[in-house]
């Protein structure tokens, strides 16, 4: 306990430096803004901002990117409650009860419980990250190459299973992601793979080009297809204070949402959206006010908003301790760390204590900033929706092209980004979710490395993956998860849950 307190004190000393505080604030402001604006999620935003992080220290860059991620969870609730317009996927559920509360004149109460629930859940999740980090790190250090390979394979399969749409398509996207991750020069033999004689591909495909094209620019193209719709706020926000009855009903929902979100955030393929849906379904069954669901039950706001913020923070646990991304945003974080020359994994807590503990401390500071940013500035965020998209996108695309070119001063990266943007657009049209592809792209080279090490140590005997207890158990869970999701009954239930 004394060691944990000492480490957290060190983390706060790092996070409270003026530079890190400034970038935490910038991240929280950008996160809230993209949470408010529909169609621009944290995955697209972080992928577009990757080039900006290159000139910053690793700790500062990750603090800003993390602020964007959990800031988006706060911002998404504002327009979901006031305009029935979810700015972020995880806020879709909030529209169901939050907007009806606003129509009844309790918009202020809904906004308050969304912000306070998010702050409480985020604070609890931060404590969980701090407490579980060193423990899981010590366990991970006992893993061998075969165990790591099986763990990453399990992560890829669960990411595919929990993705929206067909499981077969999701598995195909994972395989494509792994294949794209293997493009370049083989580290051991020096042979070039899948380069087709193009010299620029000898170092592999650029992570920033793939992420920016497939998530950022493809999302912009899809948004331009949709007709602009601007809702007008016709109801007053009213008092931000909760009455005694609302407090009594909301507190258990916040606690349950925090628990659900903290658990689902750790799962590969989980994250904020799955947590908010899971919490809403739980509240409909367990809350005392379940008869009011559909007419503006405060539990339907308190639970999901707490869950999505808890999940966005606990998803850092597998990233910081095992080096395995739980979702597409965490895959971007892995990419950002690798670009900075840092390999995420169990040795990170010892090799990069400033980054590890500074990030954890900044999460609590960021949550406090978001509480202050969101409640007093509601009017400003709603006015942001009045900015036409046709003015925003040309500026975004211009900065993207400049940013991607500035990484290597090579126009080939710009062409590659355009190619991935077209691919991302086609995947969206074919209803093939690109998130499993990104996770496969990040984990593919790591899996190959651990596979080779395991086979060298076992002298070419593949049974090592089954004979090692940890590896064998992880492979069994992976096979079970994939097999169960191929069953029609369970597949239908998964689609219903993800569709809300």
Helices and strands per DSSP (H, E), number in the chain: 24, 2
- Segments of the chain with pLDDT less than 70: 1, 38-39, 86-89, 164, 227-240, 268-271, 382, 385-386, 389, 485-500
Distance CA 337, CA 56 (A): 12
Which residues 6+ apart lie within 8 Å of 457 measured at CB? 144, 145, 464
pLDDT for the residue numbered 470: 87
Distance CA 355, CA 351 (A): 9
Q: Nearest-CA neighbor of 273 among 220, 330, 312?
A: 312
Asked whether residue 77 is domain-assigned, the answer is yes
Asked whether residue 472 is domain-assigned, the answer is yes
Q: How many domains does the chain have?
A: 1
pLDDT for the residue numbered 180: 93
Asked whether residue 80 is domain-assigned, the answer is yes
Asked whether residue 127 is domain-assigned, the answer is yes
Asked whether residue 271 is domain-assigned, the answer is no
pLDDT for the residue numbered 87: 66
* Interval 2-27: pLDDT, tens: 777 888 888 899 999 999 999 999 99
What are the φ and ψ backbone dihedral angles of 409, each rounded to 5 degrees?
A: 50, 45
Asked whether residue 324 is domain-assigned, the answer is yes
CA dihedral defined by 55, 58, 64, 67, rounded to 10 degrees? 160
pLDDT for the residue numbered 255: 93
Asked whether residue 448 is domain-assigned, the answer is yes
The pTM of this model reads 0.78
Give the range of the structural domain holding residue 120, as residue numbers without chain letter: 2-245+311-499
Asked whether residue 286 is domain-assigned, the answer is no
Helix (H) or strand (E) holding 421: helix 411-429
Q: What are 354's two structure tokens?
A: 């400033």
Q: What is the DSSP string of 283-316?
A: HHHH-TTGGGTTS--THHHHHHHHHHHHHHHHTH
């Amino acid at each position: 306990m004394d060691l944990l307190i000492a480490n957290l004190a060190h983390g706060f000393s790092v996070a409270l430096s003026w530079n890190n505080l400034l970038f935490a604030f910038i991240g929280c402001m950008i996160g809230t803004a993209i949470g408010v604006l529909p169609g621009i999620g944290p995955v697209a935003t972080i992928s577009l901002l990757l080039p900006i992080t290159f000139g910053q220290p690793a700790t500062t860059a990750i603090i800003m990117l993390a602020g964007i991620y959990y800031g988006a969870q706060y911002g998404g609730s504002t327009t979901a409650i006031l305009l029935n317009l979810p700015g972020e996927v995880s806020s879709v559920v909030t529209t169901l009860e939050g907007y009806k509360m606003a129509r009844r004149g309790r918009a202020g109460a809904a906004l308050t419980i969304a912000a306070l629930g998010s702050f409480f859940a985020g604070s609890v999740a931060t404590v969980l990250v701090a407490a579980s980090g060193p423990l899981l790190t010590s366990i991970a250090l006992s893993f061998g190459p075969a165990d790591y390979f099986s763990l990453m394979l399990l992560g890829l399969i669960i990411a595919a299973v929990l993705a929206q749409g067909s499981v077969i398509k999701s598995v195909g996207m994972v395989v494509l992601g792994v294949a794209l991750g293997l493009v370049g020069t083989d580290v051991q033999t020096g042979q070039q793979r899948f380069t087709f004689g193009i010299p620029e591909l000898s170092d592999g495909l650029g992570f920033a080009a793939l992420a920016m094209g497939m998530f950022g620019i493809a999302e912009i193209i899809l948004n331009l297809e949709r007709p602009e719709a601007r809702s007008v706020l016709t109801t007053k926000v009213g008092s931000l204070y909760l009455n005694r009855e609302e407090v009594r009903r909301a507190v258990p929902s916040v606690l349950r949402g925090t628990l659900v979100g903290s658990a689902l955030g750790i799962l590969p393929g989980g994250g904020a959206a799955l947590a908010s849906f899971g919490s809403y379904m739980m509240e409909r069954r367990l809350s005392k006010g379940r008869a009011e669901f559909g007419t503006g039950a405060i539990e339907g706001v308190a639970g999901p908003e707490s869950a999505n913020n808890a999940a966005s923070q606990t998803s850092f646990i597998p990233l910081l301790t095992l080096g395995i991304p739980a979702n597409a945003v965490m895959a971007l974080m892995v990419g950002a760390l690798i670009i900075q020359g840092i390999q995420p994994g169990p040795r990170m807590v010892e090799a990069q204590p400033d980054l590890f503990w500074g990030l954890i401390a900044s999460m609590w500071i960021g949550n406090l900033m978001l509480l202050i940013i969101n409640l007093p500035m509601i009017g400003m965020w709603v006015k942001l929706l009045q900015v036409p998209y046709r003015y925003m996108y040309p500026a975004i695309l211009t900065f993207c092209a400049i940013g991607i070119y500035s990484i290597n001063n090579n126009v080939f990266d710009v062409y590659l980004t355009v190619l991935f943007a077209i691919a991302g657009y086609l995947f969206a049209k074919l209803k093939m979710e690109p998130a499993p592809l990104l996770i496969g792209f990040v984990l593919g080279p790591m899996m190959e490395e651990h596979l080779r090490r395991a086979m060298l140590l076992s002298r070419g005997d593949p049974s090592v993956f089954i004979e090692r207890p940890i590896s064998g158990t992880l492979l069994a869970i992976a096979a079970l998860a994939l097999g169960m999701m191929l069953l029609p009954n369970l597949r239908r239930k998964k689609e219903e849950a993800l569709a809300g």
